[in-house]
Amino acid sequence: MVGRYPFKHSANLEARYAIHNIVHEDKLPVDYGAIPHAIFTSPQIAAVGVTEQSLKRQGKKENEDYLKSIYRFINIGMGLTIEDHEGFVKFLIDKQSRRILGCHNIGKDASVLIHEVSVAMKVSDSMGNIGTIDNINRTVHVHPALSEVVARAASQL
């Protein structure tokens, strides 16, 4: 395997950097921040960033170093409509900076929903802070759309 992640979308990212570095004199290292991945099972599983297990292995403690939020699909209008009793979104954020460390999503269209979080992790807020949960909290979500589950999980933080 060449590169950091064994995903086609990661290879596409690396190819863009390779082309840039071949064509331009200013060489750029590949930015591997916020690489999402998905497993197309039923239900779908998707994630971006770190896992809670990896934070604990680093000696990080919940409520001291990081905050966690879990919101279930069944608790939003569309989740009720599709009767998804299993699906959920889980956020992990840095307690001090509010930066999104990771997001995990299991349920219908998880592979689509994770993109909102990937984008939020890459952009700056109005204060210049990169990748904060506030990027999602300031965004208006359609009701009753499945993406509300991301908004509700974020709003708990």
Assessment of whether the complete model's pTM goes beyond 0.85? yes
Active-site choice (9, 20, 85, 143): 143
pLDDT exceeds 70 at position 1: no
Which 3-state string (H, E, C) describes the chain? CCCCCCCHHHHHHHHHHHHHHHHCCCCCCCCCCCCCEEECCCCEEEEEECCHHHHHHCCCCECCCEEEEEEEHHHCHHHHHCCCCCCEEEEEEECCCCEEEEEEEEECCHHHHHHHHHHHHHCECCCCCECECHHHHCCCCCCCCCCHHHHHHHHCC
pLDDT exceeds 90 at position 17: no
β-partners of residue 30 are none
**pLDDT level of residue 13 (50, 70, 90 thresholds):** low
Inter-axis angle of helices 110-122 and 148-155, to 10 degrees?
50
141 carries an active-site annotation: no
pLDDT exceeds 70 at position 2: no
**pLDDT level of residue 147 (50, 70, 90 thresholds):** very high
> Domains of the chain by range and CATH?
1-32 (no CATH), 40-155 (3.30.390.30)
**pLDDT level of residue 76 (50, 70, 90 thresholds):** very high
